[in-house]
Amino acid sequence: EVQLVQSGAEVKKPGESLRISCKGAGFPFTTYWINWVRQVPGRGLEWMGRIDPTDSYTNYSPSFEGHVSISTDKSIGTAYLQWSSLKASDTAVYYCARQGYDSSIGYYYYGMDVWGQGTTVTVSS
Amino acid sequence: QSALTQPASVSGSPGQSITISCTGTTSDVGGYNYVSWYQQHPGKVPRLLIYDVTYRPSGVPDRFSGSKSGNTASLTISGLQAEDEADYYCSSYTSSRTQVFGGGTKLTVL
């Protein structure tokens, strides 16, 4: 089964660091970009950035660049989202999502077709 | 980059059709045929409904369709069903090689 499995919920204090993970299964991990999406409770989806596991090339939304870091360990098929200093405003659910692929024509597209189950991050003093 | 503009809410009765709009700029929606739509039920993971403006992934009913005119993309749901009640988000590729979501639209099935 094609799936993305994310790490469990985290409770942290402001100023602490954190890394959450997203492990791919059932597909060749290095051939798909992995995106990260934030959802603050009661709010909408926000695209944070994406990584190409082949060469670790990353793109970030201007809203998140400099505050988070996206990386990957392709040897274990896992992507990461990392903070060096959390803020209370980072409290949210974080999803990883795979770049879409139409297998009938061998075409990668910008939509996100497979999503992780989400990781809840709570930052509170 | 600013979020794409969607109506906060739409509603319709079972069997009817509704359309959700998604307005951007020439730097995103209007500049590329890379608009996607997602459905999210409360407490659930988003689900891809439409990619590249008009294409449905395998398993998505053909009641869901997408279109675009200028800087505005649209999602139409025909033959509304109770289970369609959810939040809907559009997304577009941008000239900065990033992606941006709309603010989301809550669909109520009356």
| pLDDT tens readout for residues A77-120 | 999 999 999 999 999 999 999 998 888 888 888 899 999 999 99
| pLDDT tens readout for residues B58-109 | 999 999 999 999 999 999 999 999 999 999 999 999 999 999 999 999 999 9
Mean pLDDT of chain B: 96
Q: Give the type of residue at A76.
A: I
B104 CB-contact burial (10 Å; exposed 0-12 / middle 13-18 / buried 19+): buried
Q: In terms of Cα–Cα distance, which of A82, A94, A106, A81 is closest to A31?
A: A106
Residue ranges of B 33-52 with Cβ closer than 8 A to chain A: 34, 36, 38, 40, 45-48, 50-52
Asked if A118's CB is within 8 angstroms of B52's CB, the reply is: no
Distance to chain B for A45, nearest Cα, Å:
6
CA angle B22, A58, A19 (to 5 degrees): 100
Question: Side by side, which strands form the sheet with A78-83?
Answer: A3-6, A18-25, A78-83, A69-73
